[in-house]
Amino acid sequence: MAIMRFNYRSQAVGGYMDITVVYPTDQLSYYDMSQGPRHHIRTAAAPRPLYKPGMKFQTIYLLHGGGDDDSLTYRYTNAERYANENNVMLVTPNIMNSFGINTGYGVDYFTFLTEELPLVIQSLFASSPRREDNFVLGYAMGGNVALGAAVRRPDLYAACVDVSGGIGMTLNTATLKKELVEVPFKIYHTSFCAPEELEGSQYDIYTQGKASLAAGQPQPKFWILSGEKEFVRERIKADAATMKDMGYDVEYREFPGYDHNFDMWDMACRLAMNELLPLKRRPLYPDED
């Protein structure tokens, strides 16, 4: 595998951002293996796809949880290995405790995630720009970020996997409004708007999703996953139920014995890449249609 940490100055955020990028290089060959083994290969091996100029990869934007950063995702899960096995590229930006929104304190993380970051990644790396080749997957806070991004920008992603997303964005606006009043969580109050200003604002993804559905915009496929023991399980289930009532293609899955931790999130990353997401599991070559 090739794993790199890329740092650049973001105009949207107004500072330097760390982004971890993973390439599935273990599955590639620089020569045609059908012509026989070479170098360190001593026995006949299944031919691997070739490196070719202009080749691209399907890409998963993998979003970390609150209190984490882009490196922790790869230190605490096997996401890199699952990406290698499925021939898909991963992009994990360090979005800190931002909830992936344009915050009330003036830092535009949503603009960074949905406008700036895809353009930078698709310009500098071998990431396919086609909607059908892009997906968003997040755990904990990152699950809510993934959900909010996919609802607000359905043109960017073919599918979304929200894992354990129970703090932050929600399709149930009344729930967030209540939390902004009752939960003594200062970062909520500084990141989002005042409770009385929530409906119809940029943070009201129910209203935005409803308008998008009414306009007939193509929508991603959604999976919402929760562990049976998670303290935010009911909130997660409520998002799935609301989305189903709205008309989204959404599937909720609950996993017995799992809690709000990296055992759950590692399992979910593997499930998403091995089964849920519509991955082609090969490089995309420039001579393809």
Does 10 have pLDDT greater than 90? yes
60 within 8 A of 139, measured Cβ to Cβ: no
In this structure, of 28-42, 81-95, 103-117, the range with the lowest mean pLDDT score is 28-42
Q: How much is the pLDDT for 188?
A: 87
In a domain, 238, yes or no: yes
Contacts of 281 (CB under 8 A, 6+ apart): 86, 87, 88
In a domain, 151, yes or no: yes
In a domain, 39, yes or no: no
Q: How much is the pLDDT for 285?
A: 96
The CATH number that applies at residue 161 is: 3.40.50.1820
Q: How do strand 134-139 and strand 250-255 relate by DSSP bridges?
A: unpaired
Does 105 have pLDDT greater than 80? yes
**What is the Cα–Cα distance from 190 to 184, expressed in whole angstroms?**
12
Can you give the pTM of this predicted structure? 0.96
Report the DSSP beta bridge partners of residue 161. 137, 223
Between residues 30 and 268, the one the model is more confident about: 268
Between residues 1 and 79, the one the model is more confident about: 79
Q: How much is the pLDDT for 94?
A: 98
In a domain, 116, yes or no: no
Q: What is the overall mean pLDDT for the chain?
A: 94
Instruction: Provide the pLDDT confidence category of residue 258 given band limits of 50, 70 and 90.
Output: very high
Instruction: Provide the pLDDT confidence category of residue 214 given band limits of 50, 70 and 90.
Output: very high
| CA 218 to chain centroid | 18
In a domain, 21, yes or no: yes
Number of domains in the chain: 1
Does 156 have pLDDT greater than 90? yes
Query: Which residues constitute the domain of residue 161?
Result: 17-32+47-95+125-167+207-276
Q: What is the mean pLDDT of residues 66-92?
A: 97
At residue 152, the 3 state secondary structure works out as: helix
Q: How much is the pLDDT for 252?
A: 98
Per-residue model confidence as pLDDT tens digits over 16-37: 999 999 999 998 988 888 877 7
Q: What amino acid occupies position 49?
A: P
**What is the Cα–Cα distance from 38 to 162, expressed in whole angstroms?**
43
**What is the Cα–Cα distance from 202 to 102, expressed in whole angstroms?**
8
In a domain, 212, yes or no: yes
Q: How much is the pLDDT for 44?
A: 59
Between residues 229 and 36, the one the model is more confident about: 229
173 within 8 A of 198, measured Cβ to Cβ: yes
Q: How much is the pLDDT for 168?
A: 92
**What is the Cα–Cα distance from 148 to 212, expressed in whole angstroms?**
13
In a domain, 42, yes or no: no
Percent residues over pLDDT 90 in the chain:
87
In a domain, 287, yes or no: no
Between residues 158 and 182, the one the model is more confident about: 158
In this structure, of 35-49, 89-103, 129-143, the range with the lowest mean pLDDT score is 35-49
Does 151 have pLDDT greater than 70? yes
Q: What is the mean pLDDT of residues 237-256?
A: 98
Q: What is the mean pLDDT of residues 127-154?
A: 98
Instruction: Provide the pLDDT confidence category of residue 289 given band limits of 50, 70 and 90.
Output: low
Q: How much is the pLDDT for 38?
A: 75
Does 72 have pLDDT greater than 80? yes
